[in-house]
Every structure is written in C-alpha cells, then in structure tokens.
A and B are shown apart, each in its own frame.
Chain A
Amino acid sequence: MAAVTLLEARGLTHRFGGLTAVRGVDFDLTQGECHALIGPNGAGKTTLVSLLSGRLPVQTGAIRFAGQDITRLPAHQRVRRGIAYTFQITSVYAGLSVAENAGLAIQSRGGAEAEVPAALARVGLEGMAEARAGTLSYGHQRLLELAMGLALHPRLLILDEPTQGLSAGEIGRFKDLVAGLTPEITVLLIEHNMEVVMDLARRITVLNFGEVLATGTPKAIRANRAVQSAYLGG
C-alpha cells in the first residue's frame, strides 16, 4: 500500500513579537497514521498545531491538506475540510449540557440530533447526557472534547496533550480509544506521557526550540542521540 500524504507543511515560521516559537518547520502526515509530536515545554508544539488547525494565521510558510493549499483558509473552513482540534486547555461549552455539546459538533457537519447518544457512548459518557458540561470532572471534560472532535467525523484529529491530568485508569481507556481510530482517522498526538506515545505512535516528530530535531519511528527516535540529550534525558 502506497503511503498517501494527508498533510504537508513547508517552511512554517511563527513569531510572537520577538520570540520565534516555530522556526522553519517542514512537517508531513501520512494518511491513516498516528503521529506523535513531542518536545519539552515551550518547544512550540501547540503553536505548530495551531498553525495547522488555523487557530493562528500563518505568517510564513505553506500548508497543504488532502492535496489542496489551505494556508490562507480560516479555521472554521479547515474544520469543515476535516481538521479537528482538541484544546490543550479543555474548552467545552461549560454552561450547556453534555448532549448539547455533542449536538453542536454533530450539527456543524449537518448531522442529525439522533446521533448524539452514539457520539457520547463512543467515549463512555452516555450516562451523563443531561449534566452541565462545566460540572463534569476534568477527565470527563477531556473525554467530552474528544467526543466532540470525533463527532465532526474528521479526517485528521489533532489532540493537544489529551492525557494531561487524567488518572491512570482514564489514560488506559483513552489509549484503547485512540488506538481504534486509525487508519480511518489520521491522528496527530501531542503527548508528554512516553508510554502513551510509544504505544500509539507509528511515527514521532521531536520539536525543540521551535525546530524539528528528528522524525522517525519510535525505535529510531529512542536511538537518536540528539533526541536523547535534548529531551529524553540521556
């Protein structure tokens, strides 16, 4: 099976005032893979995926998605084309019910209200449909975000530190869930938990000071000396 490139970023650079958060990044995603993006805090991971999802406007560089140039496309149109983003800092509609949250995601792609129970069941939130989203535990809010992302039926799902703040049991559940998404959905996973990364990712990109330090299979990354000294702590 020939590998098809789903997303292709070239020469992405992003500055916040004088600070260059992302510097000349080339980045490819293969259709159907789970790709992990790792790197120390402040390496520019969130900034990079924000450029891909359209949350931040591209200053320099170009992005192609599914064969088309999306560099200038606003975020909501990228979502329509199949790029879903779950926030690093959980962002649900706190004042609305869990069902409404999922319903808004489904409605966005023209789906029917009847799909809500299935969307919630997919992440194990079926019992909480009527609860206000803001009253859920942190872990459940993260699951709700995931449910909303999936309810968009994305081609690419970007998860920004999804296991941060989850209990060990919740992390296990989450891993199973994400493992079942590929190859239908391409997953880009920002993750600090190395065990999660090594279990899920087929390829890993390491970011450091806004630059790509290395890209490769988990095995190759583990063996990479530059990565070891910069990030994995020798």
Chain B
Amino acid sequence: MKALLLHLGVLAGLLALNFLAPAYHHAMLARIMVLAVFGLGYNIAFGYTGLLSLGHALYFAAGLYATGLLSQAGWSAGPALLAGVLAGGAIALVSGALALRTAGVSLMIVTLMFAQAGYQTILYYTPLTRGEEGFNLTNAGRMLGPVNLTEETPRYLAALALFAVALLLKLALVRSRRGRVMVAVRENEERSRMLGYDVFRVKLVALTLSGLYAGAAGAAWAVLFGYVGAGFAGIQYSILPLLYTLLGGAGTVLGPFLGALLMFYLIDLTSDVSQSYLFMVGASLLILVVFAPKGILGSLRARGLKWLP
C-alpha cells in the first residue's frame, strides 16, 4: 500500500510538473521519462534477475528502427509504436535464447557482441538506415491519432503515460509470484533449479520483458523526438541503463528513474564546466561504487525503508 502510494505520488508529481516546470526542464523531463523506461526494463533483467547484459542498446535500437523505418514506409504512429515494442521483445527473445546459455562474464561478452553486430548491421544498411547520420520522422508520422507529438505538452504527457504504464506494470511484476522467482534465480540459481524452477526459462522471460521495455523506449523516442540514428545502437546506450540502474538502485522499482534523473542533471550542470561527458559517467560510477554500492534507493532500503519494492 505504502509502496503503491509512493509510486502514484511520483507519477502525480510528474503530472504536476507538466504545468509547473519551465520549458527547458519540461523538455528534459520528457526525455528522462522515456530513457527511464529503458532503465526500468534493464533493471528487470539486471536488478531483479541478476542478468548483467552489456547489449541492451540492441533492444532499444530494435524499437527505434522498427518504429522509425515503418513510419518512413507510411505506417501511422500507433501501429509503428506497437511494432517497435514487439521488435525489442522479439530480438531479446531470440538473442536471449542463445546468450542465456552463458552466465556472468561470458553473458556480458555475448550480449555485447550481439549489440555490436546489430550496430554494424545498421551501418551496413546505411542506404536504408542512413547510418550515423540518421533520419527524421515526418510530422505526419508523429501524429498519434489527433495528438500532435511534435508539440511540447502532448509529447510530455505521452512520455508520462508510457512511463506510468511501465512503472506500474513493473511494480506489479516484482510483487507477483513470477517476480519472486526472478529474485530467487538471482539469489541462488542452483537452489532454484532444485526447487523445481526452470531457471533458463525464468531468465529468458525476464530478458524478453526487459527487451519489450527497451523496445518501447526506443519506439517512443523515434515518435516523440522524431530522430532515428545509429548512435543509439552504440555501446554507450548499453551502458546508460546500467548506470541509471546502479545509480538509483538495482532491484528497486523506481531506481532507474532516479538514476536517469540524476545523470541528466549531473551532465547538464557540469556541461558548463566540462564538455567531457564520459568523464562524468566515469566519475559518477566511481562515487557510486565507493559511497553507495547499492545505489540510492538500495541504500535507503538497507537503512530501514524495508517496504521499498
């Protein structure tokens, strides 16, 4: 109950910010919410099931390109978005069926290689994908029914709607019986197997759900911000959700959102001081490992907020 109220409160706060936030922050928050969905999904695999993937950019890019290319081919936003979500899930399912035969460091390497293969594929088909340069969606492709997603307020509210659905579904998932088994697999695989759980299947389902989230974030990015490019398939987009998750708290529902929020503002605030984006990433990781290895919400949970899901 307390947990549900907290999450609804966060959503209500974000809704209020639609009316209160200055234009600059309003635009930034829309981006944060979409990338937070990516992080929420990443955390299903990493924080809850213990699958350390370095290849989630592939699932994000699958959603981004499926939606973007279909939009270019004349699909309307609704079906194109749905296709993007499914593309993320499908690629996660297929790559997971192979990658999840490994674990630990091998899993990191295999997922990384899959993502790099995806990145190279996008570059290889540059005539179609426009490679690094990317392409913009038409304004017609950014009409979700009567809603014009090129305008600030509809865009913000669409991002919030997606984030709300993603957040509440995840809350339901982690409190469900399946969520509990995911944690069990994370905590002790062998024990879970010897309790009769199909560990491989649990992992594959978790990774696929995670891919659906990543695909949804990518698809939304294409339609909301109108740009699709190979940069989103690069390694840094595999690292970002991991960072959000670590910063906010692995295995906490809200953690990746908090992490995304912090990262965005940290980079924003320091961009005056230093242009070095990678330096900021490195510095925040270092601070994190030293002072709060469980992330912000993870530390709070360990210090008494036991009910935090």
Contacts and interface: CB of A to CB of B under 8 A. Distances in A.
Interface of A: 53, 55, 74-77, 79-80, 84-85, 87, 91-96, 100, 103-105, 107-109, 148, 152
Interface stretch (B39-47, B148-156, B196-204): B196-204
17 contacts: A55-B190, A75-B193, A76-B194, A76-B196, A76-B197, A79-B195, A87-B190, A93-B184, A93-B187, A94-B188, A95-B187, A96-B183, A104-B180, A104-B184, A104-B192, A107-B180, A152-B196
Contacts of A79: 193-196
Given A76-B193, A107-B181, A108-B197, 8 more contacts: A53-B194, A85-B194, A92-B188, A95-B187, A103-B180, A105-B195, A107-B180, A152-B196
A103 B192 CA distance: 12
Contact of A76 (B180, B183, B184, B199): B199
A80 B195 CA distance: 8
B175 to A, nearest CB: 12
Interface in B199-221: 199
Contacts of A103: 180
B191 interface: yes
Contact of B195 (A55, A94, A96, A148): A148
B2 interface: no
Chain B interface SS verdict (over half): helix
A76 B181 contact: no
A95 B294 CA distance: 14
Closest 5 CB pairs of A and B: A79-B196, A108-B196, A93-B187, A108-B195, A91-B191
Contacts of B101: none
A21 B198 CA distance: 27
Interface in B12-66: none
Contacts of B177: 107
Interface string B164-191: 0000000000000100110110011011
B194 A55 contact: yes
A103 to B, nearest CB: 7
Q: Which has the most chain B C-beta neighbours within 10 Å: A92, A103, A107?
A: A107
B191 A75 contact: no
